[in-house]
Amino acid sequence: MMRKHLTPFVALLAAGAVFDVHQPDHADAAVATAEAIALLRQLSEEHRAVLLHTYLAGRTTHQTARVLGVPVRTVRSRHRHALSTLRASLLTP
């Protein structure tokens, strides 16, 4: 019986090797950024401001409330509502 020689790549595949053929690059980051901006634009200005202050600026709930001039409970409520809206947008095809 004649034995066939496998190329190294085929031998790795036969052994169960998994290859990630997609390497993220700057184009992927640009697309993700554009998608995130589009999602944020769906929010009201008040809800978007809370997310920008807490996530992008790294402020606490209390700091965000002080900067925006609203009660802490309002910041928490807007934060919860904004995330809920974004989550629903992501799950809707």
Q: pLDDT by residue (tens digit) across 8-20?
A: 666 666 666 666 6
Tokens representing residue 49 in the block: 């401001």
Q: Residue 82 sits in which domain range?
A: 42-93
Q: Which of 5-9, 34-38, 66-70, 84-88 has the highest mean pLDDT?
A: 66-70
Structural domain contains residue 11? no
Residue 1 has pLDDT above 50, yes or no: no
Quote the pLDDT of residue 32. 84
CATH number at 77 reads 1.10.10.10
Structural domain contains residue 35? no
Structural domain contains residue 64? yes
* Dist. CA 77–CA 11, nearest whole Å: 56
Per the prediction, the chain carries an average pLDDT of: 84
Q: What angle do CA 78, 59, 35 make, to 5 degrees?
A: 65
* Dist. CA 93–CA 91, nearest whole Å: 6
Structural domain contains residue 49? yes
Quote the pLDDT of residue 20. 61
Number of domains forming the structure of the chain? 1
3-state SS assignment for residue 44:
coil
Q: Is the dihedral of CA 60, 62, 67, 71 positive or negative?
A: positive
Structural domain contains residue 92? yes
Structural domain contains residue 30? no
Residue 74 has pLDDT above 60, yes or no: yes
